[in-house]
Structure 1
């Protein structure tokens, strides 16, 4: 119910997000492997690729690292407070492999309004792309020169894949 001077509007649409990698991560990447040519070369190899279901399973090495850390901590306590080993060559290593720390920095994530006026037409996709360009703050030439739209379904509000 609306009254004079008091009205509410609800936006029904799809939102997306843009995760901008940190500068530290960018420094570790090879720019030649992030080019459009590298992307096309990788796509050419996909048709010849054999899919091994094992590639989708987690690796066992993180669990092994944690196990080594726990054992070394217990061994340190045992050596310090409880007992001495009869043969030091057969003791559990007191310095396990280091576990790679996870960054504690908050990620730079920007929310984007995707489906404001779309009607599953060429005009609709144009409106969505113009909306993204306005939200990015880039000039149209710069934005569309960088955007590589891979796929998207406006009718069912599916995910836009873009690089």
Structure 2
């Protein structure tokens, strides 16, 4: 890990740490309760991304739906009505006046997520020894025993075949289903 001092004056100093960092976000119990945990595995992930290279992306998927546009329009109109009502004029017939309360927005959770930062490596090293050092450092930060860590580790991707090497070593550990 490399630390650089960017600004220094009496009583004030800012630092920036350079290196590779990762994070783990633990899903909330409420989210996990909505999922079928039997379908959350590496083979399901691989199946889901198998067609990604040939997948066509429709730009319209990134555009708002007509319902979302209507909702946006109602929010603007009702905010304008609220300002008019508060600062300019009060309607003579409140029953037929435009509503001033915006439509209800879908609420998102305000729960603070459990996020853990992990130092992955000081500098990039694509050797087998380098990936070993990274895995050992992550294991030590998690507090798990090496055996428990190895059971739970699910690397998804990596550079220069390091993850493929890891997966082949893990496959050798398990007996073959062909015999």
TM-score range, shorter chain: 0.5 to 0.7
CA distance in 2, matches of 1:35, 1:13: 30
Deviation at 1:112, TM superposition (A): 0.6
CA distance in 1, matches of 2:42, 2:36: 13
Instruction: Say yes or no: does 1:103 pair with 2:109.
Output: yes
Aligned CA-pair RMSD: 3.6
CA distance in 2, matches of 1:11, 1:74: 47
User: Structure 1 regions of 5+ residues with no counterpart?
Assistant: 1-9, 155-163
Structure 1 residues 69 and 31, CA, compared in 2 at 3 Å: closer, same or farther? same
Greater strand share, structure number: 2
User: Structure 2 regions of 5+ residues with no counterpart?
Assistant: 1-15, 161-179
CA distance in 1, matches of 2:103, 2:40: 31
Alignment of 1:61-140 (within 5 A): 62=68, 64-72=70-78, 81-84=90-93, 97-116=103-122, 119-140=125-146
CA deviation map 1:92-112 (0-9, x unaligned) = 678865211232222211111
TM-score (normalised: structure 2) = 0.58
CA distance in 2, matches of 1:33, 1:92: 48
CA distance in 2, matches of 1:27, 1:46: 28
CA distance in 2, matches of 1:127, 1:54: 45
Deviation at 1:71, TM superposition (A): 3.2
CA deviation map 1:58-100 (0-9, x unaligned) = 525555424323434666886xx413389x6xx8678865211
CA deviation map 1:26-46 (0-9, x unaligned) = 222232342223212212333
Deviates more, 1:129-138 or 1:66-75: 66-75
Instruction: Say yes or no: does 1:26 pair with 2:18.
Output: no
Task: Figure out how many residues of one structure are paired with residues of the other and give that number.
Answer: 140
Structure 1 residues 54 and 31, CA, compared in 2 at 3 Å: closer, same or farther? same
1:46 is aligned, of 47, 52, 58, to 52
